[in-house]
Amino acid sequence: MLAVVLLCATGPAVANDGASAESERSQRIDAHINDRLQATSIPGASVAVVRGGDTVHLAGYGKAGPVGDPVTADTPFLIGSVSKPFTAIAVFQLVDEGRINLGDPVGPYLEPTLGDDADAFEGMTIEHLLNHRSGMPMTLGLPGTAPVRTADDALQRRVADLARAHAPERAPGQAYEYSNANYILLAAVVEQVTGEAFADYLRERVFDPLAMTASFATNASPRAEGLATGHEAWFGLWRPSDQPYDPAGAAMGYMGSTARDLAAFLDAQLSGHEALPVSAVEVVDRQATPTGWDVPLERSIVDGWFIDEVAGHRTVSHAGSIGDYAAHVIMVPGADLGIAVMQNASAFIAAGHEGQYALSLGLLDLLLDVESERSAPSPVMTVFLPALAWGLGVLVIANAVRYLVRGRARAAASHASWRFVAVREVGPVLAYLGLGLLALVLVPLLAGVRLETAQIFYPDLAWGLVFTGYAAIGWSVARVALRVWAVFQSRSADHQRPAG
């Protein structure tokens, strides 16, 4: 209000001052982003900042792919779990039209596809799915937990996978637990109610009305052309990823957008739009459910949005990562501020939440004039642990080579005693078997994820575990076989040797 009064009072001179202030702010944004990209070596990023109903910053940075094409405001990225708020919009539209209710049980919507298997979701409601209170665990819907299918029935088959895999650990509504599976089911509900493919509904009823004409929910769309190349972290460095696109996962993580489109989305959320039954301005003051997470901006949730507070300002946000892309949308309705950041690289586990989203979190601090220091990725996570996982496998192979070169199996065969072989080998064989099981089974079990999922979100460590696991188990079997074969050969030679 003060700015408006001054503008009216002083005329063009103040307008120039305002333009100068915006230019200075834009330069500070550029400096922050370039500094973060240099510090993290992230290949490329695209950024939108909306304030006071205007897009005050819209730019691309770095490279979109290996050939060096520059990122622009119109370069499409996959946006990870930032897809979920768009799924929530579709659901609230259907609620607003009276076609579904938040308290409706989910099962009846899924029975036409699943039949009796829909009983796996008994007690779950639409509202439970929206706010991750369905009782389905985080591990159920993670990438890598089910095959990636590309046929037209990919979503239906994924829902069937979830029905078979879900083993209830707690009653629906009992507690918060973030799970991608919730939003996969919501997409199936949208399809069942509307009779349209989920991607088509999003395009017609959400993206296009919000002027998001470059956004998509299927890689079959022409809008997906020119998609920035995703990158995954290996020992703190980035390499192009070949992770597959998952059409069945669009509702929870595989939508695509551009900075220009997300700027339009932020503006619609902050100013209100007829396509949005519920906006950020309405959500920010609603009673939210604590998540139990001690991570910035995500300490409570309502209507599919995370609610938190920074420097006295309530924030509405959602972050997303699918292993080789990351995105973050943050709104501060009290400051009429919106931020969207997309990156064509992701190291969510190795970098940690603050390390992964340091660019967007730092940008929020800058725009709110908050003094803060965000934690940087730890070398222990980015380099040491992956190196340890691979290093153990290298040691196994080195020991195997030394064993073979020294001919220990042949030397032991001179004793020609099966008991000697058993006693001599039981310790090393069990040690190698134990190492293999530790790498392939116990470590993923303790981490609470499947190895296939770890290969997506923490590839250097996960593939190191695979290498070490198979090397250890393979060498334990080979070592026993070599010993047995050497003893057998030795005893055969003894029988053939003439007496006397």
381-396 tens-digit pLDDT: 999 999 999 999 999 9
pLDDT digits (tens, 9 = 90+) for 41-98: 999 999 999 999 999 999 999 999 988 899 999 999 999 999 999 999 999 999 999 9
> What confidence score (pLDDT) does residue 499 get?
52
Q: Under CATH, what is the fold of the domain 21-367?
A: Beta-lactamase (3.40.710)
pLDDT beyond 50 at 286: yes
pLDDT digits (tens, 9 = 90+) for 148-180: 999 999 999 999 999 999 988 889 999 999 999
Short-list 121, 146, 118, 134, CA closest to 178 = 134
pLDDT digits (tens, 9 = 90+) for 182-230: 999 999 999 999 999 999 999 999 999 999 999 999 999 999 999 999 9
> What confidence score (pLDDT) does residue 306 get?
97
> What confidence score (pLDDT) does residue 12 get?
38
pLDDT digits (tens, 9 = 90+) for 469-496: 999 999 999 988 887 777 677 666 555 5
What average pLDDT does range 349-358 have in this prediction?
88
pLDDT beyond 80 at 407: no
> What confidence score (pLDDT) does residue 422 get?
61
Is 6:25 a contact under the CB 8 Å cutoff? no
> What confidence score (pLDDT) does residue 299 get?
95
pLDDT beyond 70 at 436: yes
> What confidence score (pLDDT) does residue 371 get?
83
Q: pLDDT-derived band of residue 8, with 50, 70 and 90 as boundaries?
A: very low
> What confidence score (pLDDT) does residue 168 get?
81
pLDDT digits (tens, 9 = 90+) for 92-146: 999 999 999 999 999 999 999 899 999 999 999 999 999 999 999 999 989 988 8
Q: pLDDT-derived band of residue 359, with 50, 70 and 90 as boundaries?
A: very high
In whole numbers, what is the pLDDT of the chain averaged over residues? 89
pLDDT beyond 60 at 415: no
pLDDT beyond 70 at 409: no
Domain regions of the chain by residue span:
21-367, 379-496
> What confidence score (pLDDT) does residue 404 get?
86
Which is more confident, 23 or 90?
A: 90
> What confidence score (pLDDT) does residue 420 get?
60
